[in-house]
Amino acid sequence: MSEVKKYVVVKDRVEIYKDFTLNLLYYILKYYIDRESLNEDEDIRNHFVWCYNKACDDFKKEEIDFSENDELLEYFYTFYYNQFYKYDEDLHGHEMDEKYYVDFWKNIFEFSDPDNRTLLSVLIEMYMIFDKSISNEKLVEI
């Protein structure tokens, strides 16, 4: 028999994490020049880190600091590196536009299908990574 794991998920934090994720996406798309300009790994990394830092700065204004969470940065970098910067439309047969990414993240954070174990798994994984940014002291204030 498999072990059932229980997680406590605070809805307000899920909203904050979704807002951060969509804010990061906004900066990535807004300041993306084109594939030819950002084709070297170093340029891709620099662009992503700049966008990540912009999103973090926005949340610091609300006294929420994700900037020290290297695991979160790497999680998003890996995702966007593979699913945005290096995504090959010809290989996959379709373009992934802004609507695709917004819908993708909303499906995870709004969790409208409780039977979808994959979405639940991703939500819990992301939640736990995001939560490392928030000290126990801050949890009471949120």
> Tell me, what's the pLDDT at 37?
75
- pLDDT tens for each residue of the chain, 142 residues long: 445 455 566 888 999 999 999 999 999 999 887 777 777 889 999 999 999 999 999 999 999 999 999 999 999 999 999 988 887 665 555 566 888 899 999 999 987 777 888 888 899 899 999 999 986 444 444 4
What CA–CA distance (Å, rounded) separates 20 from 130?
10
Calculate the CA 102 to chain-centre distance.
Answer: 11
What CA–CA distance (Å, rounded) separates 64 from 102?
22
Residue 104, number of CB atoms within 10 A of its CB: 16
Enumerate residues 6+ apart whose C-beta is below 8 A from 138: 63, 64
Residue 85, number of CB atoms within 10 A of its CB: 19
Question: Would you list the domain boundaries of the chain?
Answer: 23-135
